[in-house]
Chains A and B, each alone.
Chain A
Amino acid sequence: MNNEKSCCCSAGNCSSIESITPYDKNDKWVAGELHTAKGKVPVISTKLHFKDILGAWKVRWGIGRMNYKINPGLYAIGKPDNTSPVLVSANYKLTFDVLRKELSGINCWLLILDTKGINVWCAAGKGTFGTDELVSRIMKTGLSEIVSHRKLVLPQLGAPGVSAHEVTKRTGFSVIYGPVRAKDIKAFLDSGYKATEEMRTVKFTMWNRLALTPIELVGAAKLSLTIFGVLFLINLFASRPFGLSDFIAYAGAVIMGTVITPMLLPLIPGRAFAWKGWLLGLLWTLGFIWYNGWLVSEFLLLAIGYLLVLPSLSAFLAMNFTGSSTYTSFSGVIKEMKIAVPLIALSSIAGIVLVLIKSLMA
């Protein structure tokens, strides 16, 4: 190898002339290094360390989610040689962990694209997991001199960003789309790149949906702090101050929209998310009002007010879950929102007015 040649590192930081991918030896997931025709490549462990699991838990709750990434470039799993398959993925650490965990006992290369720490699906939608980045990453790592074959395995969910025929035209590498889920990758490689219909289909299981709810809850909690602040101010003048029962009514509506609706999604009748959320919010509010005996004339104003506000709140929060779902289309969401947003707004305003009348005027 010619040491005089200008640096071939993929990222700006170039501590070692010979390393193709900059990495930190102290990271628990680096198991060693491998020498190739183009320089050193870090070898990746297929075991998750406690720190990886903690990291995954933290990002689920929205802590440091935007900065959980690894350096893009080429990595090795096991002892790959010039005939080993090349898998392409994103530089979001959670994606990387989910993938490498499934690769024990396999010898392969991992070509990690710079998706700014975003998962494959979302990065493909944004175009950062895309044709240009893939082509330039192939060039920067010198992949064509490290492997003798001309095949790349991309995750199927990366397809919205990558144009397979264009990659072939520009680099000579042909693109094979692998399975949707990382857990199927071994079976896919073993079968000679054959994906079953099942491996190709996106699912959205109760468990997938539940794993997404913490983020929704954290989002709703942030919004709630503002509301509580306003209520606190109102309480200073109120003849019927907001108290624990109001808090429970509110919290229940939030949980209906952010946790229960996503969880029961396919079981709730109807198709629009806002509708599903509204329905559960209504059930909750009705139950709550009945339980508190607010169906008497003294509390009627408050009861009607809450019946207008709370289901709308659940509807709005449920509608936001469209962003996390894996089957809503842009045209569908627009159609849903054109109807739902004005209704939610009107109903909320009317409800808030009634509740305030009740609170401020005894």
Chain B
Amino acid sequence: MKHRYLKNVATLNLACEKCIGCGRCAEVCPHRVFSINERKAQIVDKDPCMECGACAKNCPTNAITVKSGVGCAEAVIIGWFTGSEPSCGCSSDEGCC
């Protein structure tokens, strides 16, 4: 069954005119947000984006922007209390290799 999180919140943005169609973003995205059509990247579906920042970090022309951060409530709470950027002391799972 497919997981679905909140709609229309992802901060992902693609500047098509900067894209050179290298395909990196489609390669790194863990939620298959991009597809490459006619040597241009395209956002297929923005909602599954978890704002991990992999696409933006690996785009050689900086065509992608996303406000990346950890989607972790505990980290956000700690961030609220300490006034610092939320960072995750997160646990590991099998999926992480």
Contact of B13 with A by CB under 8 A: no
Known pairs A181-B97, A201-B32, A322-B72; A164 contacts B24 (CB<8 A) = yes
Complex interface bits, A318-344 against B, C-beta within 8 A gives 1, otherwise 0 = 011011111111111111110000000
Q: What is the CA–CA distance of A97 and B37 in the complex, to the nearest angstrom?
A: 39
Residues of B within 8 A of A286 (CB): none
The residues of A with any CB-CB pair to B shorter than 8 Å are 59, 65, 89, 92, 94-95, 98-99, 118-122, 124-126, 155-157, 159-165, 177, 179-182, 185, 195, 197, 200-204, 207-208, 211-212, 215, 265-267, 271-273, 319-320, 322-337
From B9, B30, B75, B97, give the contact of A332 (CB < 8 A).
B9
Are A202 and B73 interface neighbours, CB within 8 A? no
Q: What is the CA–CA distance of A204 and B48 in the complex, to the nearest angstrom?
A: 13
Complex interface bits, B84-97 against A, C-beta within 8 A gives 1, otherwise 0 = 00111011111111
Residues of B within 8 A of A162 (CB): 57-58
What would 14 more interface pairs be, CB under 8 Å, given A157-B96, A327-B50?
Answer: A122-B90, A126-B87, A156-B27, A160-B68, A161-B57, A162-B58, A177-B27, A180-B30, A273-B73, A323-B90, A326-B93, A330-B69, A333-B73, A337-B76
Are B87 and A92 interface neighbours, CB within 8 A? no
How many chain B residues touch A (CB < 8 A): the figure is 49
Residues of A within 8 A of B72 (CB): 322-324, 328, 333
* Chain B interface, DSSP helix/strand/loop, else mixed: loop
Known pairs A329-B10, A332-B6; A182 contacts B50 (CB<8 A) = no
For residue B51, give the distance in angstroms from its CB to the closest CB of chain A: 4
Could you name 20 residue pairs across A and B whose Cβ atoms are closer than 8 Å? Answer: A120-B97, A122-B96, A125-B70, A159-B52, A159-B58, A160-B52, A164-B58, A200-B32, A207-B94, A215-B91, A266-B1, A266-B4, A319-B73, A320-B73, A322-B73, A323-B70, A323-B88, A327-B5, A327-B50, A331-B10
Q: What is the CA–CA distance of A180 and B30 in the complex, to the nearest angstrom?
A: 8
Are A327 and B3 interface neighbours, CB within 8 A? yes
Are A212 and B60 interface neighbours, CB within 8 A? no
Are B57 and A328 interface neighbours, CB within 8 A? no
For residue A74, give the distance in angstroms from its CB to the closest CB of chain B: 19
Are A201 and B52 interface neighbours, CB within 8 A? no
For residue A120, give the distance in angstroms from its CB to the closest CB of chain B: 6
Are B88 and A98 interface neighbours, CB within 8 A? no
How many A-B Cβ pairs are below 8 Å? 179
Contact of B36 with A by CB under 8 A: no
From A159, A180, A212, give the contact of B57 (CB < 8 A).
A159
Are A163 and B57 interface neighbours, CB within 8 A? yes
Are A212 and B5 interface neighbours, CB within 8 A? no
Are B9 and A208 interface neighbours, CB within 8 A? no
Are B91 and A208 interface neighbours, CB within 8 A? no
For residue A70, give the distance in angstroms from its CB to the closest CB of chain B: 15
Find the B residue at minimum CB distance from A317: B73
- 4 tightest Cβ-Cβ pairs between the two chains A and B: A323-B72, A330-B69, A328-B71, A182-B97
For residue B31, give the distance in angstroms from its CB to the closest CB of chain A: 6
Residues of A within 8 A of B49 (CB): 329
Are A99 and B97 interface neighbours, CB within 8 A? yes
Q: What is the CA–CA distance of A95 and B60 in the complex, to the nearest angstrom?
A: 29
Residues of B within 8 A of A336 (CB): 6, 73
Contact of B63 with A by CB under 8 A: no
Residues of A within 8 A of B24 (CB): 164-165
Q: What is the CA–CA distance of A88 and B11 in the complex, to the nearest angstrom?
A: 30
Q: Quick one: which of B33-81 are within 8 Å of A by CB?
A: 48-54, 57-58, 60, 67-77
Residues of B within 8 A of A334 (CB): 76
Q: What is the CA–CA distance of A59 and B3 in the complex, to the nearest angstrom?
A: 26
